Amino acid sequence: EVQLQASGGGLVQAGGSLRLACAASGFVWADHSMAWFRQAPGKPREAIACISGRNGEIMYSDSMKSRTTISSDNAKKTVYLQMTSLNTDDTAVYYCASRITYHSPLQCHEFVMDYWGEGTLVTVSS
């Protein structure tokens, strides 16, 4: 059974930083890509970044590109999202997701993801 467990959310002041983690289990890491998404209240879910479990290729969306770093620890089957210079517009539920990729090109779209974690809430206060 595939499981994705996101953690690291919480309350942070504007201008602060936060690192999210997503621990994965139940699949071969190299056969999947991992992704971070977020959904703010009243807004659609949007992609933040993706990383290939096979070769480490990374893709960022424009929404937080300059303020985020995605990374992974393959041995721990964990993907991280480091966020900096947070502002109140970053308040959202942050989700990790995975896609069965094998040798397919890396894609970072909501509708191609196969598995989703529960999400972790990030609240940025002014």
For 61-101, the pLDDT digits (tens) are 988 889 999 999 999 999 999 999 999 999 999 999 999 98
**Average pLDDT over the chain, rounded to an integer:** 95
Q: What is the DSSP letter of 53?
A: T
pLDDT at 65: 85
Question: What pLDDT score does 51 carry?
Answer: 97
pLDDT at 57: 96
The confidence score (pLDDT) of residue 123 equals 98
- E-strand ranges in the chain read 3-7, 10-13, 18-25, 32-39, 46-52, 58-60, 68-73, 78-83, 92-100, 115-116, 120-125
Asked if residue 17 has pLDDT above 90, the reply is yes
pLDDT digits (tens, 9 = 90+) for 23-41: 999 999 999 999 999 999 9
